[in-house]
Structure 1
Amino acid sequence: MKYSCIALACLLYATAVHGQYEMNLKNAGKVPLSYLNKVGIGPKGKEIRINNIYMEEGGKPVLPVMGEFHYVRMDHRYWRDALLKMKASGINMVATYVMWSLHEETEGKQNWSGNYDLRRFVELCAELDLKVHLRAGPYCNAEMQHGALPEWIVNNKALVIRSNDPLYLNYSKKWYQSVYKQVRGLLYKDGGPIVALQLENEFVKKGLVVSHLMNLKKLARDAGFDVPLYTMTHWMDSEYPKGEVVPYGGFYIETPWVTNNGKITPPTNFEYFTYNRLSDNIGTDIIKVEGNVESFDGSKNDSPFFTCEVGVGAPTFYHRRAVVPEEMAGENINLRLGTGVNLMGYYMYVGGTNPRGEKNTYGNGPYFGYDYQAPIREFGTLGGVMKETKKLNYFINDFGTQLAPMLAYLPLSNKNKDNLQWAVRSDGKSGFLFVSNYLYRYDRPTYEKVQFKLQLRDEELAFPRKPVDIVNKSYFLWPFNLDMAGVNLKYGTVQPITSHREGKITSYFFFEDDGISAEYLIDALGIKTIHGQGAKVSKEKNRYFVSGIVAGKESVITITRNNGEQVKLVTLTEKQSDDFWKGKHGQKDFVALTSSSLTVDDNKILITGDEASQQISLYRPLKLKAFENKLYQGQKLAQLQAAVTVLGPMDQASWIHTKTGTVLKKTFDGTSLANVSEATLRFSSDKDVKLRWNGKEVSAKSVGEYAKADVKAHILSGSNEIRFESEGNDANLIASVEILYKNGVRKVWNTDDTWLNEENKPVGANGGKAKPAHYSAEERLGLFVFDLPDLMQFKDDVRLQLSYFGDKATAYIGNEPFTDTYNNGAPWLLGVSRKKEELNTNKLIVRITGFGADTQNIFLEDNVDRIKSQYPAIKTVNILKNYTYIVD
């Protein structure tokens, strides 16, 4: 009896596991479509219409790939470079906030030039055949103070912001009119690239959502905005103007705004396949359950599943400083596709730098650096997450027309999060299987002997042929019944990337991953011959089974059809898929493998990297060897050096003495539109001195080698007098005033020979006297000046890479802030060549402050030394130079 019970238990367990990987899709298929815009908008043959499931262009389903790029956060001279990188990596739509507070910091004084030239930015997108989604506000968020509403609006007591207050709406109307004036003639209906307009961001005022959004839509349309798509970011409330405005979702796996008291955060719901599109489960009331499968009932769906904020990188906030792995990006995209996303919008795709205002900084912290660990980072380099992101972009570009009409189906077993997570998108005949065994910062078990069984309309498919183990950190998508230029792939245990057509040869690129061997099952119908290099091909009734594949550039399965056309299946390794690029050279598509950054500009293929020697492998389907290697070797320059000097607290000041009398004084001009954020006077004297600022006595505190005083409350915007009075004649003094303004400017006033004594005569200098050597440990402050190579001689980008001990760092060029960062343990990259004109006449200074003694409420990666980082120091300094080659 005992053994029978064990056997029964094992049988029940096996049955449960077996059923967990089965799905009945016999009733899957098309759903009735309802259109938000009855008439397509746009040029003939390219009209855009939006229905309840997907976007159509020229009557064909499309699945756009949209990347966020804020033009005001980058020097306009480098917009084109970033846009080219976006396009090369598979982006076909650019989203950008139009930030009111930056364009109109002072009421009535608007700036639309230089880095603020919205029209030029949109025109560049048009030149590169990139659609544009304007996110015009009025409210944006974007990690900007007041969500990019101007301070003069926020502080206006006569109105209520983000409401139907008539005065607020009148100001919003003027804002829309200003934005439209900049882009007139560039809307999609006029042949321009602007296809969509966002009206609000995360608007959740209960009872006001519908009316306020409709008011904003009317204002925008009255201003001239007539676009196919009006949107709102919307994941906190289920209200929205149905049929009028499409709500966009946001999905972040790394959530730096959740501090969790410095501890690791638990997994979010968004790390599993779920229909939870918004945080309040909007739409779950129309989930349909049949058997052990659930799906959204598309016929009851009011809006398509579009996103604008799929996080593939993450910002670094003060209390959470996670460094995101590249796998997080791939998994987030995989999960979103598996649950039905039909517009893949990334935030951010291009990092940048917040501009400083005349009165304020506008970033919420860091104040300037907005790198976001994005696929394209603050100064144009490719982030680690680009490897995973672009291969999935290419997949969406190539297979989006097939994927968009397919609903997403989830097994009920997913509700138990201890089970392997999987999903299917299908029309009942073909589709894609999505699998996830990945959790960010947590481990999952290995799921053994997994085989998926799909009951389709006309058949049952089971794959892989033999059950496999799905290990921790796995995520992938597999195709089934994929039409490959007339050849039907029943299934493949490989992830598709893209296809390529040249002459009578159509090539499909896949990659093998996660320890699961590649295998293909192919319909024999219409096939004359099939053979594969290093693979085993078995004919089975009316199918071919291909196994024993050794993934790599040489792994090419060639299928010759009865009509003479060929289909080639190329199975790459996971590493090679990271180096995969697809583009268009002239009128022809090309495929290449390179670890360099690749762009196509002016019909030239360019590769760029930090090494003088770079390699690219170009796919040549008509040649015996599938990939042709090309090596480019330039003249390697001698290792570029950057010398760093540690500055003392009064390093730029001079010792002065009274000559006669007991007074040392100076009048400074403190005029600024910005208020003072911090102001510190540091000084040392060989006699006791009294300090007066604008006639008021100021107390100072001794901190080791010098004294310091907080003078923030005493500084005037205008003339300021500093006055030291000694107890004896001929006092020697050295002093420095450091002022940090709220707009980020840093000014320093030092003692020098322009100071006066009590007779208003120049003081004497004492150059031989030693200066205080170090900032006191109490201040936890360090200043470092960098001597850089002559940047004017380089055409390509040059970057300063440094690592440091400390809490936060700000780089200055002269008085002006360059960028800043919170220490997260990763190297800090500064695009110094992008400021070479300024650096030709000014030094680069990095100001670092250290942590306090208690950092337990700050999440830091393990490689950040919390103790040493209390006291600022530079760890490593490198100069990196780009080398760019034109590919033949």
Structure 2
Amino acid sequence: MMRVHNGHLIGMALAATFLSSGVSLAETVLSVDATAPAPALETGYLRMGQGVSPAGGTIGINNRYLTLNGKPWMPTMGEFHYTRFPADGWEEQLAKMKAAGIDIVATYIIWNHHEEVEGAFTWTGDRDLRRFAQLCAKHGLKLVVRIGPWSHAEVRYGGIPDWVVDAMPTRGNDPQYLSYVDRFYRQIAAQVSGLLWKDGGPVVGVQLENEYNLTGPGQGRDHIATLKRMALAAGFDVPLYTVTGWDQTVYPSGEVVPVFGGYPDEPWKASPEILPPKETYAFRFDSRVSGNLGAQTVATRRGDADPDIPHTPFLGAEYGGGVPAMYRRRAVIDPADISAMLPVQIGSGVNLFGYYMFHGGRNPVGRTTLEENTGIHGHNDTPIIGYDFQAPIGQYGDMRPVLRKVRPFHLFTSAYGDQLAPMVPHAPSILPKALDDLSTPRWSVRSAGDAAFLFFSSHIRQYRMQPVTDVRFTINLPGGPVSFPSVPVTIPAGSHFIWPVNMDLGGARLAYATAQPVTRVTVDGIETHILQAEPGVPVELALTGATDVKAPGATVANRTGTTLVTGLRPGLGAAVTFTAAGTRKRLLIVTEVQAESLVLLRRNGQDIAVVSDADLFATDTGFDLRSRGNPRFRYSTLPSLGRGGKTDGLFTTYEKAVTSKPDMPVTVEPVRAAQPAPAIRIGGPAKAAMQPAPEAYGKSAAWSISVPADALAGVADAWLELDYQGDVGRLFSGVRMIDDHYFNGPAWRIGLKRFAAEIAQPLTLTIMPLRADAPIYIQQEWKPAQAADGQVAVLKSARIVPEYALSVAVP
């Protein structure tokens, strides 16, 4: 217990030194009581399926967390719809998700993508679920299949085929409906036969229905129970059965586990204005249910999720990796709008962080278009083809800046989740008064015994919180208080992070650190914990149980059994080396940019940490790097790969260049000018702006777009960037639409590799004019200036950006 007091004592000792020297130490102390015991573990209440694999691997669940092979497990899950991406690119995309720190892939099995015509099932090509599952297994990714039958997913009729909708009641226990659902379930089960966890395969979970809050005759809990019985009869014997838990959903307690979510904006709202601060950015200590997540039906009674809290862990499935494009609201999401959700939600107790979507896509076109739209009484209008979602990986496979922002959190939960998952959240002594309270600091602590993690966030989308000045934290633990850092610090506005308290280092403890643990690697027998410095906050580390502490360039001081390290300048060489239980270990403190550029690979049983400003993912022989617009590659590895690198702290840095392509001009020729756009229609279930009627698109301006014949030669892809202003952009090959886009400000980017055949001929771009009086939400910084005629439809520029590739072999 003394080690807990040491952090407190060293802080007091250093504070006294500063006071005696005349330095003002006016400070704010943020405190939390983390002495309350954790709820008792409850097992057996949740009636899940077979959790043992043929090799003896186990997946389990209790009322607080998941387990993998008997240890607490805190995976990260990312949604990727295989039917919305060309099958020949699945493997590369899954490798990108794996490199992003994703552990579980979630995917909808969208009924009308597979049985658009009654009895005519398609499970080949882009609809080959079995091959997709096999590729997940190859890349060490587990798989959750969301089998519906209703999915939503911004799909026509929520994925239920037209022939079902036209002929019978849906989403209830109607016998005819259930007979077709049963057939659909059995078809899915046949595709993944032999690929379930109990068979040694990747399929570890099944989600039933979606956003189900219907309680009429033949509906409610009994319908979910019926769907589970049908799934079991079809062969789905899996470790996890889930339902979504938001928007007052109903389900039979004990039969399924609710999962939760939250989004940075609500494009399904009718409002054309900035929304109030979102619940997603507020720590939650009571209900797990966020606000409006866009359910298509209205509940008539209280949902089952909150009363079920004592029996279920806090699992997530739909934390927005972005937001869908919807006609009436067109938010542009900043990377920090997504990354700030992670410390808030994990700090609230989430033990499975699941994204919707992590990978964007495009809608297939069948006998009808398959997107959600108000023309079929859908709640929202969405693009016919584009389903990019502003996701960390876009609809063409481009890895976005947001991926770098969130990946350090994924690596953290992977490396330290066994310590964090059993920890319970504690609310601080002072909480924000309301969601729009922008002055009270937002933070929490999760603890188990005397070990804890502190979670902090001062980022709220489209709102600015103030810096927290001259602050220290006090965490009251069973063994006594820990107060840190030793000297008050200022935490800049927009900061969001996780700091450790009494973190186990194997024979020593990190009593506290003003840096976030990211991951750990073992190289040459030395375990190295990599931590990320928080911009604007001095790094301070306190170690207990460590001896022979070395930190070149930093100040190392010993106070009452605690070693304090200060003055460390973050970087690839900012190492603190120490001995614990007779073994040398290291802490490496890197910059925020370096942490966001870090990918952890494993090859031949060896950890490999790679830091690069290029995007990268593992291959069968090593890893690939990708760079848009820059043919020069720089990457640093731990351990060294040999072959001519230069020592850079603990890493070895390599620089290589590939052949640069000359500028590739795009030929743009006007085809026709825009005509006056019709007035925006108001209606649909939301009684809000509706997209133009099909015949109205004849008013669009049009341009012929020609790209060089060799645009794709010698590069991984070529990106056509269209900087335009208008209402709706559409791109055609002949008369076939190949993509579409609701204007929201940033340039529209199209990956041309997918259209290698089409670009042999000129493409046609059309832009529907945007009326000045359109009741559509576009962020102020992206709103176009309106022309004298009251509408805008302009193509400002068109260019091609090459995507370069470099393959690196790893022995």
TM-score normalised to structure 1 length: 0.79
Do the aligned residues in 1 keep the contact of 2:618 with 2:624 (CA within 8 Å)? yes
Find the counterpart in structure 2 of residue 880 from structure 1.
801
Find the counterpart in structure 2 of residue 804 from structure 1.
724
For the residues of structure 2 that align with 1:816 and 1:450, how far apart are their CA atoms? 60
The answer to whether residue 185 in structure 2 is matched with residue 163 in structure 1 is no
For the residues of structure 1 that align with 2:394 and 2:640, how far apart are their CA atoms? 34
Q: Quick one: which of 372, 382, 397 aligns to 2:389?
A: 372
Once the two structures are TM-superposed, the CA of residue 493 in structure 1 deviates from its matched residue by 0.6
Find the counterpart in structure 2 of residue 838 from structure 1.
758
The answer to whether residue 350 in structure 2 is matched with residue 341 in structure 1 is yes
Which deviates further from its counterpart, 576-585 or 38-47? Answer: 38-47
**Residues 559-597 of structure 1, C-alpha deviation per residue, up to 9 Å, x if partnerless?**
13462x321111111222221211113321111211111
Q: Which amino acid aligns with 1:25?
A: A
Q: Quick one: which of 495, 505, 525 aligns to 1:474?
A: 495
Once the two structures are TM-superposed, the CA of residue 412 in structure 1 deviates from its matched residue by 4.9
For the residues of structure 1 that align with 2:640 and 2:700, how far apart are their CA atoms? 61
The answer to whether residue 602 in structure 2 is matched with residue 584 in structure 1 is yes
Once the two structures are TM-superposed, the CA of residue 310 in structure 1 deviates from its matched residue by 0.8
Once the two structures are TM-superposed, the CA of residue 416 in structure 1 deviates from its matched residue by 2.1
Q: Which amino acid aligns with 1:822?
A: Y
For the residues of structure 2 that align with 1:72 and 1:40, how far apart are their CA atoms? 28
Once the two structures are TM-superposed, the CA of residue 283 in structure 1 deviates from its matched residue by 8.2
Find the counterpart in structure 1 of residue 15 from structure 2.
none
Which deviates further from its counterpart, 447-456 or 24-33? Answer: 24-33
Find the counterpart in structure 1 of residue 737 from structure 2.
817
Q: Which amino acid aligns with 1:102?
A: H
Find the counterpart in structure 1 of residue 523 from structure 2.
502
The answer to whether residue 451 in structure 2 is matched with residue 451 in structure 1 is no
Do the aligned residues in 1 keep the contact of 2:369 with 2:384 (CA within 8 Å)? no
Q: Which amino acid aligns with 1:359?
A: T
Find the counterpart in structure 1 of residue 702 from structure 2.
782
The answer to whether residue 291 in structure 2 is matched with residue 272 in structure 1 is no
Once the two structures are TM-superposed, the CA of residue 382 in structure 1 deviates from its matched residue by 0.9
For the residues of structure 2 that align with 1:310 and 1:145, how far apart are their CA atoms? 22
For the residues of structure 1 that align with 2:129 and 2:409, how far apart are their CA atoms? 29
The answer to whether residue 144 in structure 2 is matched with residue 133 in structure 1 is yes
Once the two structures are TM-superposed, the CA of residue 503 in structure 1 deviates from its matched residue by 2.5
Q: Quick one: which of 548, 569, 577 aligns to 1:550?
A: 569
Find the counterpart in structure 1 of residue 199 from structure 2.
190
For the residues of structure 1 that align with 2:260 and 2:406, how far apart are their CA atoms? 18
The answer to whether residue 615 in structure 2 is matched with residue 615 in structure 1 is no
Q: Which amino acid aligns with 1:784?
A: S
Aligned pairs (5 A) from 1:282-301: 301=310
Aligned pairs (5 A) from 1:78-477: 78-156=89-167, 159-206=168-215, 208-237=219-248, 239-260=250-271, 262-275=272-285, 276-279=287-290, 301-364=310-373, 365-417=382-434, 418=437, 419-477=440-498
For the residues of structure 1 that align with 2:28 and 2:176, how far apart are their CA atoms? 61
Once the two structures are TM-superposed, the CA of residue 28 in structure 1 deviates from its matched residue by 2.9
Cα–Cα, structure 1 residues 256 and 496, in superposed 2: closer, same or farther, change >3 Å?
same
Find the counterpart in structure 1 of residue 784 from structure 2.
865
Cα–Cα, structure 1 residues 883 and 499, in superposed 2: closer, same or farther, change >3 Å?
same
Cα–Cα, structure 1 residues 391 and 619, in superposed 2: closer, same or farther, change >3 Å?
same
Task: Tell which structure's C-alpha radius of gyration is larger.
Answer: 1
SS of match in other structure, 1:307? strand
Find the counterpart in structure 1 of residue 62 from structure 2.
51
Do the aligned residues in 2 keep the contact of 1:805 with 1:870 (CA within 8 Å)? no
Once the two structures are TM-superposed, the CA of residue 42 in structure 1 deviates from its matched residue by 2.4
SS of match in other structure, 1:169? helix
Cα–Cα, structure 1 residues 234 and 27, in superposed 2: closer, same or farther, change >3 Å?
closer
Once the two structures are TM-superposed, the CA of residue 794 in structure 1 deviates from its matched residue by 4.0
Find the counterpart in structure 1 of residue 651 from structure 2.
627
Q: Which amino acid aligns with 1:575?
A: V
For the residues of structure 1 that align with 2:263 and 2:176, how far apart are their CA atoms? 35
Greater RCO (CA < 8 Å, at least 6 residues apart): 2
Q: Percent identity?
A: 33
Do the aligned residues in 2 keep the contact of 1:308 with 1:345 (CA within 8 Å)? yes
Do the aligned residues in 2 keep the contact of 1:495 with 1:512 (CA within 8 Å)? yes
Which deviates further from its counterpart, 60-69 or 274-283? Answer: 274-283
SS of match in other structure, 1:216? helix
Once the two structures are TM-superposed, the CA of residue 826 in structure 1 deviates from its matched residue by 0.9
For the residues of structure 2 that align with 1:188 and 1:135, how far apart are their CA atoms? 16
Do the aligned residues in 2 keep the contact of 1:313 with 1:385 (CA within 8 Å)? no
Q: Which amino acid aligns with 1:383?
A: R
SS of match in other structure, 1:346? strand
The answer to whether residue 775 in structure 2 is matched with residue 853 in structure 1 is no
Aligned pairs (5 A) from 1:523-534: 523=544, 525-527=545-547, 529-534=548-553
Do the aligned residues in 2 keep the contact of 1:37 with 1:228 (CA within 8 Å)? no
Once the two structures are TM-superposed, the CA of residue 258 in structure 1 deviates from its matched residue by 2.1
For the residues of structure 2 that align with 1:263 and 1:872, how far apart are their CA atoms? 22
For the residues of structure 2 that align with 1:117 and 1:550, how far apart are their CA atoms? 51
Do the aligned residues in 2 keep the contact of 1:139 with 1:200 (CA within 8 Å)? yes
Cα–Cα, structure 1 residues 645 and 130, in superposed 2: closer, same or farther, change >3 Å?
same
Give the gaps of 5 or more residues in structure 1: 1-16, 287-297, 650-681, 683-702, 709-739, 747-774
Which deviates further from its counterpart, 170-179 or 614-623? Answer: 614-623
Once the two structures are TM-superposed, the CA of residue 415 in structure 1 deviates from its matched residue by 4.7
**Residues 455-484 of structure 1, C-alpha deviation per residue, up to 9 Å, x if partnerless?**
212232101112222332121110011112
SS of match in other structure, 2:280? helix
SS of match in other structure, 1:21? strand
Do the aligned residues in 2 keep the contact of 1:30 with 1:405 (CA within 8 Å)? no
Aligned pairs (5 A) from 1:607-686: 607-610=625-628, 611-620=630-639, 625-648=649-672
SS of match in other structure, 1:167? helix
Aligned pairs (5 A) from 1:703-742: none
Q: Which amino acid aligns with 2:736?
A: E
Find the counterpart in structure 2 of residue 567 from structure 1.
585
For the residues of structure 1 that align with 2:755 and 2:64, how far apart are their CA atoms? 46
**Residues 197-219 of structure 1, C-alpha deviation per residue, up to 9 Å, x if partnerless?**
11110000126321010000011
Once the two structures are TM-superposed, the CA of residue 856 in structure 1 deviates from its matched residue by 4.4
Do the aligned residues in 1 keep the contact of 2:715 with 2:805 (CA within 8 Å)? no
For the residues of structure 1 that align with 2:701 and 2:725, how far apart are their CA atoms? 11
Cα–Cα, structure 1 residues 400 and 561, in superposed 2: closer, same or farther, change >3 Å?
closer
Over aligned residue pairs, what C-alpha RMSD do you find?
Answer: 2.6
Do the aligned residues in 1 keep the contact of 2:723 with 2:747 (CA within 8 Å)? yes
SS of match in other structure, 1:877? strand
Once the two structures are TM-superposed, the CA of residue 45 in structure 1 deviates from its matched residue by 3.0
For the residues of structure 2 that align with 1:127 and 1:620, how far apart are their CA atoms? 25
Do the aligned residues in 2 keep the contact of 1:780 with 1:870 (CA within 8 Å)? no
For the residues of structure 1 that align with 2:712 and 2:509, how far apart are their CA atoms? 57
Cα–Cα, structure 1 residues 165 and 562, in superposed 2: closer, same or farther, change >3 Å?
closer
TM-score normalised to structure 2 length: 0.86
Once the two structures are TM-superposed, the CA of residue 741 in structure 1 deviates from its matched residue by 11
SS of match in other structure, 1:337? helix
Find the counterpart in structure 2 of residue 653 from structure 1.
none
Do the aligned residues in 2 keep the contact of 1:555 with 1:572 (CA within 8 Å)? yes
Do the aligned residues in 2 keep the contact of 1:499 with 1:509 (CA within 8 Å)? yes
